[in-house]
Amino acid sequence: MYCAPPVLRVEFYRAVGDDVQYRDPEQDRWMDLAVVDSLPYLYFLQYLTFRQLDKKDLQRRSLRSLDRCVREDNDFRHLETAWNLLGQCYEHELKPNSAMACYRASLEIRPRNNAAKWHIAILWYRLLQKK
């Protein structure tokens, strides 16, 4: 768990309130894990790495690749998590409206047992702190 970026750790806590009771014990075992497909995760890690290294051009390219992957080339599982990762990138870019749109898209895919609820709550808290 501690090897994963902090944003991915939130995926371990995707159940909010009574969400857990809506899980199928056989089919939903993976919900206690942080699960994301490799391609969106690769672009997300590239984004974080280039951001940390202050390589703005490569950072923007990684963000565009992740955005295109999630919006257009989304023939993979766990799309809701990919939307959450994209939302985190937009939060880093200081684009809260874009981030919120990503979290809402994630919730449209999986309304229950989705860490997007946590991301939205944290985003609202941060926005309210600024006012």
Q: Which pLDDT score, from 0 to 100, does residue 33 have?
A: 60
In this structure, what token pair is assigned to residue 31?
A: 């919900």
For the domain made up of 37-130, give the CATH fold: 1.25.40
- b/e string for 18-35 if b means 16 or more Cβ within 10 A? ebeeeeeeeeeeebeebe
Q: What are the tens digits of pLDDT across the range 38-85?
A: 899 999 999 999 999 999 999 999 999 999 999 998 788 889 999 999
Query: Which is nearest to 112 in space by CA: 73, 80, 74, 72?
Result: 80
pTM above 0.85, yes or no: no
Alpha helices in 25-95 (DSSP H): 38-52, 56-71, 79-92
CA distance 66 to 64: 5
**For residue 112, what pLDDT band results from cuts at 50, 70 and 90?**
confident
Percent with pLDDT over 90 in the chain: 56
Q: Where are the domains of the chain?
A: 37-130
